[in-house]
């Protein structure tokens, strides 16, 4: 069999909440930022952030921080026009917490992110003939840090924040596939599985399917660790991902074994 035509599937992974636990990093930096710019009057809870994310358009945490700041002041009777928030200042403060204050040496919350998969899992996919890569709304520096320094992956296929419009726009997913599809017969394209932890990730799959209906698109949801603390949260989050289009929802990305992928396709 021609190897190019024997690829069973291509798997593309989101990073935050799938590859690494960001509840104590990105989400903590988001809460810090909102608290700072509301003069300590409001600090969003994990549920507040989940509700924002469930709207499906706040994949960028800098924009999410700004939105929650605006919404707080609107409850205080102020309009967005009155506030005129400086987005660059919001980004700078967020990054000072997430990356740290030294631009040459990461020292912020990013250093303490628990990993949610092991490199051996990716090796299993490779051995099964499954190609894989990453499409993330994280900055390239942040994504590269976890993929290359923490997971020791050598030049993984990655489309990051700087490379494509934010999700749920599927452009970045298409760009990732272009890098992964070399040597594949375009008349025999393998199914694509996109693995993500948010409503926006599942919407991305739906939009990709609408753009390119000539191939199979499968959205796989993964529950981020912070929603697995109670059955009620876990069930509600699972339902939100399924409602957004997830075919299945897993507790950990490594449950998406080659055998499970074969069942999905």
Average pLDDT along the chain, 265 residues, taken 10 residues at a time = 64 97 93 97 95 89 96 95 94 96 88 95 96 96 94 96 95 96 86 96 97 95 94 96 97 97 94
Query: Which of 187, 193, 136, 127 shows the shortest CA–CA distance to 163?
Result: 136
State residue 2's pLDDT score.
Answer: 38
Q: Residue 214 phi/psi, 5° resolution?
A: -85, 5
Looking only at the bridges linking them, the beta strands covering 131-135 and 158-159 are parallel
98, 108 Cβ separation under 8 angstroms: yes
Rounded CA-CA distance 26/32 in Å is 10
Question: How many other CB atoms sit within 10 Å of the CB of residue 215?
Answer: 15
Rounded CA-CA distance 36/167 in Å is 27
Strand order, beta sheet including 248-250: 158-159, 131-135, 10-13, 192-196, 217-222, 248-250
């Amino acid at each position: 069999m021609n190897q190019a035509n024997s690829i069973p599937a291509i798997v593309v992974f989101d990073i935050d909440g799938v590859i690494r636990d960001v509840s104590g990093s990105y989400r903590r930096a988001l809460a810090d930022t909102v608290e700072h710019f509301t003069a300590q009057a409001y600090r969003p809870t994990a549920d507040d952030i989940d509700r924002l994310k469930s709207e499906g358009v706040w994949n960028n945490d800098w924009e999410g921080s700004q939105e929650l700041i605006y919404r707080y002041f609107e409850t205080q009777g102020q309009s967005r026009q009155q506030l005129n928030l400086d987005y660059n200042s919001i980004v700078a403060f967020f990054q000072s917490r997430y990356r740290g204050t030294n631009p040459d040496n990461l020292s912020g919350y990013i250093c303490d992110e628990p990993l949610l998969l092991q490199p051996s899992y990716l090796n299993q996919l490779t051995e099964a003939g499954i190609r894989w890569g990453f499409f993330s709304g994280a900055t390239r520096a942040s994504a590269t840090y976890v993929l290359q320094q923490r997971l020791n992956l050598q030049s993984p296929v990655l489309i990051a924040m700087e490379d494509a419009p934010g999700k749920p726009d599927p452009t970045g997913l298409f760009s990732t596939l272009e890098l992964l599809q070399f040597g594949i017969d375009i008349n025999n394209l393998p199914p694509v599985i996109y693995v993500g932890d948010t409503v926006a990730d599942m919407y991305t799959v739906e939009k990709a399917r609408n753009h390119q209906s000539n191939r199979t698109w499968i959205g796989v949801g993964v529950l981020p660790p912070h929603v697995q603390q109670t059955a009620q949260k876990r069930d509600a989050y699972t339902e939100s991902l399924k409602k957004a289009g997830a075919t299945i929802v897993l507790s950990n990305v490594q449950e998406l074994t080659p055998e499970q992928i074969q069942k999905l396709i």
